[in-house]
Amino acid sequence: MSARLDVRGLRKSYGALAVTDGVDLTVEAGEIHALIGPNGAGKTTLISLIAGEVRPDAGTILLGEADLTAAPVHRRARAGLARSFQITSTIPAFSVRENVVLALQGAGGPSFRLWPAPRAERARAERARALLARVGLEGRGDHPAAALSHGEKRALELAMALAAEPRILLLDEPMAGTGPEEGRAMVDLIASLKAACGILLVEHDMDAVFRLADRVSVLVAGRIIASGTPEQVRADPAVRAAYLGDETATGAAP
């Protein structure tokens, strides 16, 4: 079930440096909202603020009706806020399937069963198989997560995020480091998800952003300087001056 993410007046400073400087941002149900900006603009900090790893100095974060501003990471995740990490984050010693099973366990709420639960485990394994198939990892379930290729790890991360049937998905540079083929597959995959949930997409790959996004916001020095449809943003002179000019020239820079 999708829901609206509503971020208002978010601020975070480290000493005198305002890394997030009054950001307002919404992600509507079923849309892909892309966040772009030069390196050091504060994109990852913003994701961390929304995911709950960093506490804001001011502002509110609402998911549907629920105020998550003060909730710890795990409670936000339980409320329907799932994420992928910029630097791939899985459980390397687990098999690919066990990674997804763990994610399904998280989605199922706390369980203190100390003994094996074969029936519930079989159900989870079945759902894990379906999720892995959805992200193109069918047949890879028994491999150690550490042995996957970079692109496959990114797909596994996505499967883990999807396990919770999230209402909002935070994707921090899902395309980073993938080859051209894997990148195309990832774009198709992300496009197929938007019926299920709203997506906040942080991405450097401009082709992908303009193919996928319903709306684009541009973050520069902790502030959103422009927001609108891809065409509007592309045409925005401030954006061209501050950002697009050099980025489009280098193409799909990391």
Binding site for other proteins (CB under 8 A): 51, 53, 72-75, 77-78, 82-83, 85, 89-94, 98, 101-103, 105-107, 110-117, 120-121, 160, 163-164
SS (H, E, C) the chain: CCCCEEEEEEEEEECCEEEEEEEEEEECCCCEEEEECCCCCCHHHHHHHHHCCCCCCEEEEEECCEECCCCCHHHHHHHCEEEECCCCCCCCCCEHHHHHHHHHHHHCCCCCCCCCCHHHHHHHHHHHHHHHHHCCCCCCCCCEHHHCCHHHHHHHHHHHHHHCCCCEEEEECCCCCCCHHHHHHHHHHHHHHCCCCEEEEECCCHHHHHHHCCEEEEEECCEEEEEECHHHHHHCHHHHHHHHHHHHHCCCCC
Q: Which residue number, 83 or 215, has a Cβ lying nearer to other proteins?
A: 83
**Cα torsion angle, 230, 52, 5, 169, sign:** positive
Closest distance of CB 153 from other proteins, Å: 12
Q: Which residue number, 127 or 240, has a Cβ lying nearer to other proteins?
A: 127
Closest distance of CB 229 from other proteins, Å: 31
Closest distance of CB 103 from other proteins, Å: 5
Q: Which residue number, 73 or 147, has a Cβ lying nearer to other proteins?
A: 73
Closest distance of CB 113 from other proteins, Å: 6
Closest distance of CB 242 from other proteins, Å: 29
**Cα distance from N-terminal residue to C-terminal residue, the chain:** 33
Closest distance of CB 169 from other proteins, Å: 12
Q: Which residue number, 122 or 246, has a Cβ lying nearer to other proteins?
A: 122
Q: Which residue number, 115 or 181, has a Cβ lying nearer to other proteins?
A: 115
Q: Which residue number, 59 or 144, has a Cβ lying nearer to other proteins?
A: 144
